[in-house]
Structure 1
């Protein structure tokens, strides 16, 4: 029971996992809640970063299954999307093994601030219209670069990567928010398999706390997928905006 000697921390991991799974499904930022909590169990930043990936992986698998059950998972486009993402994830994960994740905080914070401003001033830039068809990745080179950066950041720090994925999938490739969130979880699952293997190879994964966290995240993602299919696109946009602003504020206060 190393790292889980306090039953209150076990309960906190489960509850935070549920919350993180829910918000990660609809927007992102759950990792910013999980990482500090894992470090409270006595883990260093690198071990907490690797251990979190156990929950993220199982959350992603369950999320893909749930979105597919609701008919919102677009599997046909995944192979093309995964190529630049996994290439970036390999670079980011190897870097994360040796460098502190805090060095990418300014990148995340800047991205979130830009997203928040765009969503308020000109939301159509980031969010597609109701009749707008998704773009082909082959004809959208900026999206290739964006997906590589998604993979690099996700492999490096994970926390907050969902927001960057939304900017690429909805903003550049013009998927609606439900399909964006479905693809986001599928992409996360893909690069997390790679990241988790590298972190495990480096001895930076504590399996038992990761599984406790994963149990909560699986429950959270089930609630999140069901909620995403019951509310309107307008409501999802507001939820995303609120989460972006909340994470910006939390990051700014912490920094």
Structure 2
């Protein structure tokens, strides 16, 4: 029996708001929302599925607002979306079928790895001022990076923003603002695929999912405003701090 008390509604709205900001600027917001959903009594797999409602709607808001400010690069977007969609479908199917015990080690390993990359090789997510974005079309490295990001996002979701930024800023060399805009578009795409799988399997609890979404959508709007105001350097350090927080959260998941 779900606890839909006022306290839990407030918890979902607040954690959703914070997660929406974090997910728009970096990633890892699901490390807040997943525990909040599980505190309501949802099993890990149902919480993982229900969380996608907020993620999907948050991404739609973020994509719209980035596009309004001219920060969404739509040229060649099909070459970026196809591998993420394929990966998201495979990841969603695996999440529905494989045991929950695989979620924590995958999340922890990914977050620790990203933290080390950002600390030791910051140029990976910080293209130089004179660099121009590369096309994803015919780019094998980008294809595999986006495919793996989609799979990870479809499977566990938490922290997928970091993986997408590594692919978009690291491999394709987008600046962090445009990488975040494309990240949200990719996340919306593969989350829609994964969410369809979860809905088909009856794993989504709509009431907490939509309450959470109200918070994440508001957070996404705030996150876009911040992304447009802060410097690339500030975004890089925020990204690093969030990967450390995500790593710590994974230890106690």
Q: Report the TM-score, using the length of structure 2 for normalisation.
A: 0.95
Question: 2:52, 2:191 within 8 Å by CA — same for their partners in 1?
Answer: yes
Query: For 1:237 and 1:49, how far apart are their aligned partners in 2?
Result: 28
1:6 aligned residue: 5
1:154 aligned residue: 153
Cα deviations across residues 55-89 of structure 1 (Å, max 9, x unaligned)?
11110100001101111011222211111111111
Q: CA deviation at 1:212?
A: 0.4
Q: CA deviation at 1:4?
A: 4.2
Structure 1 residue 180 corresponds to structure 2 residue 184:
no
Question: 2:107, 2:156 within 8 Å by CA — same for their partners in 1?
Answer: no
Structure 1 residue 197 corresponds to structure 2 residue 199:
no
Unpaired stretches in structure 1, ≥5 consecutive residues: none
Q: CA deviation at 1:115?
A: 2.5
Once the two structures are overlaid, the 10-residue window that deviates more, 230-239 or 126-135, is 126-135
Once the two structures are overlaid, the 10-residue window that deviates more, 12-21 or 124-133, is 124-133
Question: 2:27, 2:162 within 8 Å by CA — same for their partners in 1?
Answer: yes
1:22 aligned residue: 21
How many pairs align? 253
Question: 1:3, 1:209 within 8 Å by CA — same for their partners in 2?
Answer: no
Query: For 1:101 and 1:161, how far apart are their aligned partners in 2?
Result: 17
Query: For 1:49 and 1:107, how far apart are their aligned partners in 2?
Result: 14
1:92 aligned residue: 91
Q: CA deviation at 1:107?
A: 3.3
Q: CA deviation at 1:217?
A: 0.4
Structure 1 residue 236 corresponds to structure 2 residue 226:
no
Pair 5,249 (structure 1): closer, same or farther in 2 beyond 3 Å:
closer
1:144 aligned residue: 143
Q: CA deviation at 1:116?
A: 2.1
Describe how 1:126-141 pairs up with structure 2 within 5 A.
Answer: 126-141=125-140
Q: Secondary structure at the match of 2:20?
A: helix
Question: 2:63, 2:184 within 8 Å by CA — same for their partners in 1?
Answer: yes
Pair 5,104 (structure 1): closer, same or farther in 2 beyond 3 Å:
closer
Pair 107,143 (structure 1): closer, same or farther in 2 beyond 3 Å:
farther
Unpaired stretches in structure 2, ≥5 consecutive residues: none
